[in-house]
Structure 1
Amino acid sequence: MKIESTEIQDTVLDLQPLTYIMERNGFVLAGQWDYERVTFDHKINSPEKNITYYIRVSGYAVEGDVDTGKAVIKLLTPLLGKHHYPHGVEYGEGEEIPQNITEKTERILNNVNDQLKQFIAEEAN
């Protein structure tokens, strides 16, 4: 499910400070190798048996190459997915996600958004 209640989408930032901010907030940079795209995932454990939720924030390079570590990234709309063991993560709108998970997701993403804005404002000065 898309999380459009934050202002993360369309944020543009260098990869290194972006990675630092995301990792400070519990996100992991996915290990796939790509010239143009990045994916950050945040795992949310659930008391439900064999269910885990993931917040995914993806972006693409508007300048440079991701594999060099020197790229400017534009972020896309964050997603909240439900992992169904052993099948994988579903990000569809039809997934039933508890309200406490969506609220936690929004708090995490709002915190990330605040830090991104603060960094961008400090860089502008």
Structure 2
Amino acid sequence: MKFENTGMETIKIDLNRLDEVMYNHSMIRSGQWDYERVTYDHKFQIKEGIYYLRIQGYAFEGDVGNHDATIQLITPVLGKYYYPHGIEYGEDEHFPSHLVKKCEGIIANIKKDLIVFSE
């Protein structure tokens, strides 16, 4: 499920500042990066299953590996985890309304914090 029209895709921000804001909102990057992209996840374990809110971006300028990059964010997504296949984001997936609302709130709060530092 894509969270369209959140304004996240308009944000360009320094990677170190982005890491800090995402950490403050329990969005974990851990090993999910390469030299051109970053991915932040928030895991939800609820009675309906395991879900991930995922916010991704790519290096508009610089190098993620050197912690010297400006990141362009893209549209956030919500996916359901299926063992052993992975995460599905499809339109045919069911996402509980309480989870969608929680994710929308997290995205709005992240955007509010990021907009202060964005280019």
Q: Is TM > 0.5 for Structure 1 vs Structure 2?
A: yes
Is this contact kept in 1: 2:42–2:53, CA < 8 A? yes
Q: Choose 1 or 2 for highest CA Rg.
A: 1
Match of 2:17 in 1: 17
Q: Percent identity of the aligned residues?
A: 46
Is this contact kept in 1: 2:60–2:70, CA < 8 A? yes
Cα RMSD for the two superposed structures: 1.4
Is this contact kept in 1: 2:15–2:71, CA < 8 A? yes
How many Å separate the matches in 1 of 2:6 and 2:33? 27
> For structure 2, which runs of at least 5 residues remain unmatched after alignment?
none
Match of 1:3 in 2: 3
Match of 2:115 in 1: 117
Match of 1:41 in 2: 41
Q: How many residues are paired up?
A: 119
Match of 1:99 in 2: 97
Is this contact kept in 2: 1:8–1:75, CA < 8 A? yes
Q: Which runs of 4+ in 1 moved over 3 A?
A: none
Match of 1:78 in 2: 76
> For structure 1, which runs of at least 5 residues remain unmatched after alignment?
none
Which amino acid is the alignment partner of residue 104 of structure 1? K
Change (3 A) 1:5 1:100: farther
Match of 1:27 in 2: 27
How many Å separate the matches in 2 of 1:69 and 1:56? 20
Change (3 A) 1:44 1:33: closer
How many Å separate the matches in 2 of 1:11 and 1:64? 16
